Amino acid sequence: LKGVRVAVCEEASNSDTLNEAALKKLVGTEVITSRELYKAFVTFETTQLHILCTNELPAPESSWTIALQRRITMAYFMKRYFASIEDGYDPDNPLHGRADPTLMTKLSDPVNQAACLVFLVQGAVSYFRDGQKLLEMPSRSRDIMNSYQLSTDPFLAFLDNSCVVGDFFVGSRELLDEYNNGNRKVDGKEVGRLVKIDASQLKRMMQLRGFEEPNKARCLGFPEFGSTRGYKGLRLKTDGELEDDAE
């Protein structure tokens, strides 16, 4: 990776997972220390953009933390391009296209290379001018990213399907019992058998998603709940809200 600007990895298997610690090291530090096999360690500046081109999206090792979410951006390409000798192409399908066999030749042309460089420089100027903030993902990519996270993180799916985030309070026991309830539904289907969690695991999962530690309701600003211990920032959906979601 030393001196590399773009590091591309092609394809992940359905058993691959995202190593959060390694990801933080690669994209969240100014320098990287590593070594080749049987050689001494070297330290070099982090210069590379990591890109994973894949159809199979790797799941997180444990759960989607805030730190992991803010380090990943998705670019979703709906259209499939077929070679001229490849079967399955449907000219009436808007998601099908013909691959351009001259694309590499065009991209290798000095004029087009210069145009690409100008495009990159203009993007870099905007990036630094705006405080090194990335643009928001397109809505299509954002929707796929959200679906990806929910499908690979049962607790995140629970928060999305069974809870309402806001200036609310929910008791720890109430929240825990609902998560461990095999009859609750995600996307209209009962979760059935699931790996149940205990209070300490619930606390950790909530903290990973930015919620404060559990405390007595009156200490969190909800005196109507008395001394019940729980979390600030969400509540369980009502039966009516769950029914509306199912329609």
pLDDT digits (tens, 9 = 90+) for 2-16: 899 999 999 888 889
Helix, strand and coil percent figures for the chain, each rounded to 5? 40, 20, 40
Closest CA to 209 of 149, 167, 168: 149
Would the CA dihedral through 35, 36, 37, 40 be positive or negative?
negative
Bridge-based pairing of strands 189-190 and 185-186 is antiparallel
Lowest mean pLDDT among 102-116, 142-156, 207-221, 222-236: 142-156
> How much of the chain, in percent, has pLDDT values that exceed 90?
52
Is the per-residue pLDDT at 112 higher than 90?
yes
Is the per-residue pLDDT at 118 higher than 90?
yes
| Structure-block tokens of residue 115 | 């145009």
Average pLDDT, the chain: 90
**What's the pTM?**
0.69
